[in-house]
Amino acid sequence: ERWPITRLYNRVWIPDNEEVWQSAEITKNYKAGDRFLHVQLEDGTELNYPVDPAALPPLRNPDILVGENDLTALSYLHEPAVLHNLKVRFVESKLIYTYSGIILVAINPYKQLPIYGDAIIHAYSGQNMGDMDPHIFAVAEEAYKQMARNNKNQSIIVSGESGAGKTVSARYTMRYFATVSKSSSNAHVEDKVLASNPITEAVGNAKTTRNDNSSRFGKYTEISFDQRYQIIGANMRTYLLEKSRVVFQSENERNYHIFYQLCASAVQPEFKHLKLGSAEEFNYTRMGGCTEIEGVDDRENMVETQKTFGLLGLKADFQMDVFKMLAAILHLGNVGITAVGDDRSSISLEDKHLNIFCELLDLNCDKMAQWLCHRKIITTSETVIKPMTRTQAVNARDALAKKIYSHLFDFIVERINQALQFPGKQHTFIGVLDIYGFETFDVNSFEQFCINYANEKLQQQFNLHVFKLEQEEYMKEDIPWTLIDFYDNQPVIDLIEAKMGILELLDEECLLPHGTDENWLQKLYNNFVNKNALFEKPRMSNTSFIIQHFADKVEYKCEGFLEKNRDTVHEVLIEILKESKIVKILNSYTPIDDFEKRVTPSFVRKVQAMLNNREDAPQLMLDTKYLFQVTFPFTPSPHALEMIQVPSSFKLGFLTRV
């Protein structure tokens, strides 16, 4: 006896302006070559839907599969199937986690969920990834288990767009490791490792329009374990701090949290000498017109920041030096610069904020006032002192503020790393990478360009890693399979970094004495418009360009690209700063025998290209201290990085005489 057929026709997904995808049932047989599909929407509407016979609408999965906790278990795996499955799990079952093979997909619920307590950590500890519900702890456990079982270092990459919840996810993985691998000693190493988070968030996170606690830098934390797989220490590397935020914030955005924490604590006796007031009083904190975050108590967070500094062994006098520099930056932003005619400017020696800035950093006020408004030009035959216009002087002041902040940031990270150092030998490590998500705002500049470039590289790594791994697994098991044709974003990476690409043209323009953002943009138009499908000129603008990234199209404004890429501060100002006792204490200004002055990003990329042509593909990078670090394929650990002594086999003798 045959089963009665209850559903004669398939269901498909058709694009929808409101819902993105809408489910529809096919009501009439479709014959190859038909131009229309007869469908009925879920609300009963009948439609003759026009189709391209070469690209028919995606089929919908049978209901029995919807809500699966692993996307790879679905019969059809395409965009509408993935989105529908995630939606059903999130909306109907309140589940934020779903697997896609070895990847965990997380949806940000934008509220605290009671699924991260110690009891849940212990429930996941020792379990296999597929035996429990999808969870960030299952991924962390898998990394820990693989490390312990195979004696192999592991890495967890947390990626996603801005506001997706990366920082919180990275925090949970670190807490998981700290809990399951508690050391028996009383050194409380795990507590120190976890304490590094609130500090880096205070100095490196800020409110954006997308996210109240957005990381404005990338962070790679390497957690070190001993032979018993207990935590013994950690080391942190940071990337791409968004320095421009120190001196500029878009509407509804804030500067770094630490500034607001300081201002909220201005009346406390220990901060009286910093002569601060409310965040409304300072140019660098009020620009976005938003000095408070709903539900966040900056004063309370300041107490927390001080506590975590203490937990890492960073004493009160060190903290006060840091707070002095931060307060000095705020006062510097309020220094009044007056235009004197069209081509010069001046700062009054009576300027209250200039005096406080100099007092806090122990600097000479007269020199500071003079050199914020003048620059020294040294030629072969003479030294010329040239006055600056008001705009140039404001730029010089802002550049100085950014320089002080970025050095302070690097220095704090360095001190955290010192506090997390350990005696003895690292046996294995687990790395956690929490890097900016893909970003697109109303106005996108150099920072977004760098962030999105980094994300392109990350996406490429991810594609190669995931698909390559899966396909190797299939081959090992002798399972018949067809090579998956995945989206390769190499063309957009080439557009940015290849020879005569966007970055090389930018570096080139920066070297020209009269280089401008406009000239550079014109070169981009000449080289790429109608010649590269991933590059466009906006119809209504002559000051922007559009790149088709893997995640979205982004329009970048060219204004400020050259200045931000050059990242220069007038040398005289640096010389004055070196006289400061505070800066000496923080030993942030120690150029390595003039080396940092000679190394440009384009030079690094050239050397990188040379090294990449070698078969063993070593990498070359610059660290925060502007020292060269060359990593060889045979380097046993990041701690064994060589300094500038490059083996002669590399034939890079020219490195030392750039």
Q: Which of 162, 238, 255, 452 is catalytic?
A: 162
What CA–CA distance (Å, rounded) separates 420 from 200? Answer: 14
Mark whether 334 is an active-site residue: no
* CB distance 230 to 182 below 8 Å: yes
Q: Which of 211, 285, 345, 588 is catalytic?
A: 211
Mark whether 45 is an active-site residue: no
Is 166 annotated as ligand-binding? yes
Mark whether 211 is an active-site residue: yes
Q: Which of 25, 68, 125, 163 is catalytic?
A: 163
3-state secondary structure of 100: strand
Assign residue 132 a region (left: φ > 0; alpha: ψ between -120 and 50; beta: otherwise): beta
Q: Which of 439, 456, 509, 536 is catalytic?
A: 439
| CA proximity to 256, closest of 220, 317, 305, 222 | 305
Mark whether 125 is an active-site residue: no
C-alpha 334, offset from chain centre: 29
What CA–CA distance (Å, rounded) separates 255 from 278? Answer: 14
Q: Which of 85, 100, 167, 346 is catalytic?
A: 167
What CA–CA distance (Å, rounded) separates 360 from 322? Answer: 11
Q: Which of 98, 215, 255, 285 is catalytic?
A: 215
Residue 611 neighbours by CB under 8 Å, 6+ apart: 617, 618, 619, 620, 650
Is 161 annotated as ligand-binding? yes
Mark whether 130 is an active-site residue: no
- Give the chain's end-to-end CA distance (angstroms, integer): 86
What CA–CA distance (Å, rounded) separates 633 from 616? Answer: 7
Mark whether 439 is an active-site residue: yes
Is 162 annotated as ligand-binding? yes
Q: Which of 255, 437, 501, 565 is catalytic?
A: 437
Is 501 annotated as ligand-binding? no
Mark whether 155 is an active-site residue: no
Q: What are phi and psi of 549, to 5 degrees?
A: -80, 170
Q: Which residue bears the tokens 């990459």?
A: 157
What CA–CA distance (Å, rounded) separates 245 from 570? Answer: 20
Mark whether 153 is an active-site residue: no
3-state secondary structure of 158: strand
The C-alpha angle 296, 301, 302, rounded to 5 degrees, equals 135
What CA–CA distance (Å, rounded) separates 78 from 57? Answer: 11
Annotated binding-site ranges: 160-167
Annotated binding-site ranges for ATP: 160-167
Q: Which positions are catalytic?
A: 162-163, 167, 211, 214-215, 437, 439
